[in-house]
């Protein structure tokens, strides 16, 4: 299968396309005559100029994934040719080279689909939402998810790189991530972020850097979902636009709280905010319960389904102080995370039939 089929007679346009394709790590096929039907249909993307667009429209079947390029700003002739061939983008070069780079990069992504996004929110102070988010990513990898991305969307936390012991590990953080035209390459992102466990990447923030915005967060979550990745997003209790973006993108929102009266009441207020924003939401209740409060009672106060009740994890605080979170298959954190992940698998990703 050809990567990009270039049908361009203009030498200047072709040179511009070659530069962009090299930057996007895409291979070009440059036939000198009109391609055969199979080569036309098998190409991942087709880039044409106005004259070639008209020739293709007359001789070849309709297909998706066509980009029409022209020198300078497109005029009426270019728009008419684009409509004739069914082009999805009309770009003037060299001014639109950045947008062309984004189109070529997005077309390279494996559209596996089926990715799932989890948003994990603390229902009260000290609930342990970040720790549970990491455990949920661990569980997704253990269940065979084709790729897992743990995303830090809590600017007021210690940082997921610190939690996982990756603060000294090389790899891209939020400040080094570039989002072009509202899109990001999931493949490039997976290769660039530091890896916590086999198949589990961590996109963390930078201490002292500017806070992330809602648009870049949405681009990351949606790109990963399209690539079939399981995403776990650690969300702050700030109720701002970034938190709203994470909740809006999530298939399942997990509210983590403590088995205490104060934790239940605080989580109930957070649950009220989630109403109308979360596609599906449930609560995870962490022990201990010093007053004997049952997890089912906490869930009733919060007003959300009980996803899991978790026993206290011995030695957790000490382990976090000694180089980051290390989990075992039967630890209370992982057992609860498996319950949440397995229950979400029956619901499927957002938009699934």
Please state at what angle helix 76-85 crosses helix 50-59, rounded to 10 degrees: 30
- Give how far Cα 182 sits from Cα of 133, 134, 213, 223, Å: 26, 27, 12, 10
The whole-number mean pLDDT for each consecutive block of 10 residues of the chain, a chain of 353 residues, reads 84 93 87 92 93 96 93 95 94 90 72 83 93 96 93 90 91 78 68 90 83 88 87 94 94 96 96 93 95 95 97 85 86 96 70 49
**Tell me, what's the pLDDT at 302?**
97
**Tell me, what's the pLDDT at 315?**
85
**Domain map of the chain by residue range?**
4-107, 116-347
**Tell me, what's the pLDDT at 350?**
58
Task: Return the SS3 of 135.
Answer: helix
Selected from 3.40.309.10, 3.40.50.300, 3.20.20.370, 3.40.50.720, the CATH number assigned to the domain covering 116-347 reads 3.40.50.300
**Tell me, what's the pLDDT at 67?**
96
**Tell me, what's the pLDDT at 324?**
82
**Tell me, what's the pLDDT at 353?**
42
Same fold for the pair 4-107 and 116-347: yes
Q: What is the second-level CATH architecture of the domain 4-107?
A: 3-Layer(aba) Sandwich (3.40)
92 closest CA partner among 69, 111, 75:
69
**Tell me, what's the pLDDT at 108?**
63
Angle at 173 between CA 171 and CA 176, to 5 degrees: 100
C-alpha count within 13 angstroms, C-beta hemisphere, residue 180: 14
pTM for the model stands at: 0.72
């Amino acid at each position: 299968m050809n990567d990009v089929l270039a049908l361009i007679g203009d030498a200047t346009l072709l040179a511009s396309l070659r530069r962009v394709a090299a930057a996007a790590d895409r291979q070009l096929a440059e036939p000198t005559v009109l391609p055969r039907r199979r080569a036309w249909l098998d190409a991942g993307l087709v880039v044409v100029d106005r004259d070639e667009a008209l020739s293709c429209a007359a001789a070849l079947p309709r297909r998706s994934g066509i980009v029409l390029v022209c020198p300078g700003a497109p005029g009426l002739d270019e728009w008419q040719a684009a409509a004739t061939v069914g082009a999805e983008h009309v770009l003037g070069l060299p001014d639109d080279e950045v947008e062309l780079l984004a189109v070529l990069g997005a077309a390279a992504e494996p559209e596996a689909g089926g990715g799932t996004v989890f948003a994990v929110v603390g229902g009260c102070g000290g609930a342990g939402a970040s720790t549970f988010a990491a455990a949920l990513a661990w569980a997704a990898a253990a269940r065979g998810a084709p790729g897992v991305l743990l995303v830090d969307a809590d600017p007021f936390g210690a940082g997921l790189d610190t939690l996982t012991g990756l603060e000294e590990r090389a790899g891209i953080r939020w400040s080094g991530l570039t989002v072009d035209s509202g899109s990001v390459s999931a493949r490039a992102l997976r290769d660039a972020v530091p890896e916590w466990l086999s198949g589990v990447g961590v996109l963390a923030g930078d201490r002292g850097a500017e806070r992330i915005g809602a648009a870049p967060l949405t681009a990351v979550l949606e790109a990963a979902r399209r690539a079939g990745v399981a995403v776990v997003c650690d969300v702050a209790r700030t109720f701002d636009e970034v938190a709203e973006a994470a909740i809006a993108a999530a298939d399942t929102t997990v509210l983590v709280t403590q088995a205490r009266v104060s934790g239940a009441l605080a989580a109930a207020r957070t649950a009220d905010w989630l109403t109308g924003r979360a596609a599906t939401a449930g609560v995870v209740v962490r022990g201990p319960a010093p007053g004997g409060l049952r997890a089912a009672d906490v869930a009733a106060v919060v007003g959300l389904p009980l996803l899991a009740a978790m026993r206290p994890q011995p030695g957790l605080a000490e382990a976090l102080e000694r180089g980051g979170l290390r989990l075992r298959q039967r630890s209370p954190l992982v057992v609860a995370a498996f319950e949440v992940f397995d229950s979400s698998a029956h619901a499927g990703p957002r938009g699934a039939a």
